Amino acid sequence: MRLTAAGRRWPRGLRALSHRNFRLYWSGQLVSFIGTWMAGVAQGWLVLELTNDPLALALVATCQFAPALLLGLFGGVIADVLPKRRTFIILQALSLAQALVLGLLVGTGTVQTWHVYALALTLGVIGAVEMPVRQSFAVEMVGREDVANAIALNSAVFNGARIIGPALAGILIGIAGLAASFYINAASYLAAMIALVLLREEELRTPPTARFERSFAGVAEQLREGLSYVRHTPAVLLPISVLGFVSTFGMNFQVTVPVLARNVLAGGPDTYGFLMAAAGVGSLLGALAIAFRGRPTLRLVVVGAAVFGAALILLALSRVFALSIVLMVVLGWAVIAIAATANTVIQLTVPDVLRGRVMSVYTTVFAGSTPVGALFAGTLATLGGVSVALFVGGALTLLTAAAAGAAVFRGRGIAVQPMAQQEAGRG
C-alpha cells in the first residue's frame, strides 16, 4: 500500500483524516450525530409519556425503519446513478425540516402520537435513500486504500456522539423539556450540510455512475445485479446474514432500553440516557480498536455476535444499575464488532460500479430488520416484560453466532478478498 507524505504523518488508526475532504465530512457528522442521538432519546421518552406502552415504541421504530426494508434497495440504485455529494446535501436538508417540525409540535404542546408516527415514517423514507448514499460515499473521499480506516472512524464518530448525545438529552429534558433536543437536532444538520458544501469536488474519487434507467424493467435489472453479487459472494453474504439476524432479534434498544430504565431499574430519562451513553462508550472503543487494528476478519463478526448474545441474556437478569451500565458497554462493543467489520469486509470486496447497490443490501438488512425486530421485542415486552424480550433476543443471537461460526471456523472457503486482488486474478 502506497501512502502519500501527508498520510505518513498521521498515525495508522487516523490515516483517513489525512484527506481534507474526509476531515471536513467527519467533523460535520460529529455535530449532526450528537443531535441525532439527542433526538432519539427525546423521542423515546416522548412516546412513553404519550402512550405508556412499550408496543408504541415498537410502532414508532417500525414507521422509522420500515421504509428501509421496502425502499432501501432502490436507494442503492439512486446512490449508483446520482452524484452522491449533491444527493446527500438534499437529503440532509429534508432531515432538518423533519426535525424542526417535530420540535415545533412538541414545543407548542400540540404533539399527538400519530404526529410522531407520521414524522418517523417521513424520516424513514429519507433514510432509505440516505443510508446507501452515506455508506458508499466514504471511498470517494479517501480512496480504496484508506476506506477501511474511514469506515472505522465513521463508526467512532457515530458512537462518540452516542455517548455525548444521550447523556446531554437525559439532562436537557429535565431542564428545558423535550422540545429542546429536537431543535438542537434540526440545527445540527446545518453542520453536516456546510461540511458537504465545502468539500473539494476535484479531490473526490468519483467512480463512473451506473446508467440511468427510465423503465421499471431497467431498474429491476440493476437491482438484480446487486442482489446476484451478494448471493454469489460468500464473504459478503455471511456478514450480511449475521447482521440481519442479530439486528432483528437483539438490537432493539430503542424499544427495550426505555422500558428497562423505567420499569426494571426504576429510573427516569437520565437513567435511560446514561444506559444509551454506556452503549456508546463500548461502541466507540470497538470502533477505535478496529481503526488501529487494521484488516477486518469474518471471525470478528462471529465473536461479536456471540458476545452480544451473552451480554443481552445477562442484561435481562440484571436488576442493578451499575451492572446494567457495564453490560451496555459490552453490548456497544459487540454491535461495532459485527456491523463495522461487516461494512468494511463488504466495502473492500465490492466493485465500485456495484457499491451503492450492494451497500443498500447491507443497510436494508441492518435498518430494515428494525421494524420486524421492534415489533418482536415490543410484543414480548408487552406480554411478558422487558426482561423476557431481552433474554429471548440474546438466546436467538447466540444461535445465530453458532451457525455462523460453523461456516467460518470449519473453513467453507469463505475468505475476504479485496477487489484489487479479484481484478488481478481475472487479469
CATH number of the domain encompassing residue 156: 1.20.1250.20
Give the pLDDT confidence score for residue 32 in this predicted structure. Answer: 94
pTM score over 0.75: no
Residue 8, pLDDT score? 57
- Rounded CA-CA distance 186/195 in Å is 16
Residue the block writes with cell 464518530: 157
Asked, for residue 4, whether it belongs to a domain, the answer is: no
pLDDT at 399: 95
Other Cβ atoms less than 10 A from the Cβ of 385: the count is: 17
Which residues constitute the domain of residue 312?
10-201+215-426
The residue type at 420 = A
For residue 124, being part of any structural domain is answered with yes
All residue ranges of the chain with pLDDT < 70 are 1-8, 208-216, 219, 294-295, 410-427
Taking residue 184's Cβ as centre, other Cβ atoms within 10 Å add up to 22
pLDDT of residue 274: 87
Instruction: Convert 178-213 into a string of H (helix), E (strand) and C (coil).
Output: CHHHHHHHHHHHHHHHHHHHHCCHHHCCCCCCCCCC
pLDDT score at 426: 38
User: Residue 209 domain-assigned?
Assistant: no
Look up residue 36 and give its three cell numbers: 441525532
Query: For residue 36, what pLDDT is reported?
Result: 93
| Distance (Å, whole) CA 74 – CA 80 | 10
- Predicted confidence at residue 427, as pLDDT, reads 39
What is the per-residue pLDDT across 66-114, written as a single tens digit (0 to 9) for each? 888 778 778 788 878 888 899 999 999 999 999 999 999 999 999 999 9
Q: Residue 414: what pLDDT?
A: 53
The reply to whether 3 falls in a domain is no
Is residue 206 in some structural domain?
A: no
Give domain status of residue 183, yes or no. yes
Question: What pLDDT, on a 0 to 100 scale, did the predictor assign at position 272?
Answer: 84
The answer as to whether 276 is a domain residue is yes
Q: d(Cα 237, Cα 33) in Å, to the nearest integer?
A: 29
* Count of structural domains, the chain: 1
Can you give the pLDDT at residue 2?
Answer: 45
* pLDDT in the model for residue 363: 80
- Asked if the structure places residue 109 within a domain, the reply is yes
